Structures are given as structure tokens and as C-alpha cells.
Amino acid sequence: DAKTTQPPSMDCAEGRAANLPCNHSTISGNEYVYWYRQIHSQGPQYIIHGLKNNETNEMASLIITEDRKSSTLILPHATLRDTAVYYCIVRVAEYGNKLVFGAGTILRVKS
């Protein structure tokens, strides 16, 4: 019952920008979009979140469309260490504000 849709996998050349898309067409007006990534057998790592404005931090940029139905995570200069599963998530108000994780996108950065 995840509220987001992501491609199952993507490849990116080392040093190039990685653009990971996410559809969240049923998002409510006050729900934030979060991005996490998970390297094998580790806990998910927070990357960035946003509501309706574009956001940037030291790891990535988040571009949210004006209608908020989709977003794109941008890793500006991908490295081999960015190879991971990337999850786009919206927070669900019930269940104590749980985050619903879908299957995510496997990003493979190649040299």
C-alpha cells in the first residue's frame, strides 16, 4: 500500500548526475516527501525531504513538481559509493506517522 511509484532500477556513470524519479499522485496537501537510501545490510540513511519547494543539502537536491504529483532526487556527481536502493516515501498520518516504504530504485553507479 505504498503511495509512491519508482522505477525498479537505474544505471549511472560515475561523475555524472543521477536523476531518480518518483510518482506520488495521491499525496495530500500537508504530506512531506522523504528520500532515503539503503546500502546492503545497513539501516536506511536519510537524504532529504520536502513539501512543495525545491530543496538542496550537502548530499542531494529534491525537485518537486508544482502539482506535487511527482519529484526527482538529484545526486549531482554520483560516485561508486552511491550505489544503493533509494526509497521515495510519503509520511502517513495514521499509524503514528509511519513511513511507508515501497521496493525503491536500485541505483548502480558504474565506472
Partner 1 sequence: DGGITQSPKYLFRKEGQNVTLSCEQNLNHDAMYWYRQDPGQGLRLIYYSQIVNDFQKGDIAEGYSVSREKKESFPLTVTSAQKNPTAFYLCASRGQARYYGYTFGSGTRLTVV
Number of residues that bind partner 1 (CB under 8 A): 24
Q: Does 86 bind partner 1 (CB under 8 A)?
A: no
> Dihedral, CA atoms, 83, 88, 93, 94, nearest 10 degrees?
-70
Q: Which of 60, 73, 104, 105 binds partner 1 (CB under 8 A)?
A: 104
Which residues in the 11-50 window bind partner 1 by CB under 8 A?
Answer: 32, 34, 36, 41-46, 49
CA atoms of 72 and 69, how far apart (whole Å): 11
Q: Does 63 bind partner 1 (CB under 8 A)?
A: no
Q: Does 81 bind partner 1 (CB under 8 A)?
A: no
Q: Does 51 bind partner 1 (CB under 8 A)?
A: yes
Residue 47 CB neighbour total at 10 angstroms: 20
CA atoms of 43 and 21, how far apart (whole Å): 22
Q: Does 5 bind partner 1 (CB under 8 A)?
A: no
Q: What is the DSSP letter of 69?
A: S
Q: Does 53 bind partner 1 (CB under 8 A)?
A: no
Q: HSE on the CB side for 11, CA within 13 Å?
A: 3
The footprint of partner 1 (CB under 8 A) covers 2, 32, 34, 36, 41-46, 49, 51, 87, 91, 95-104
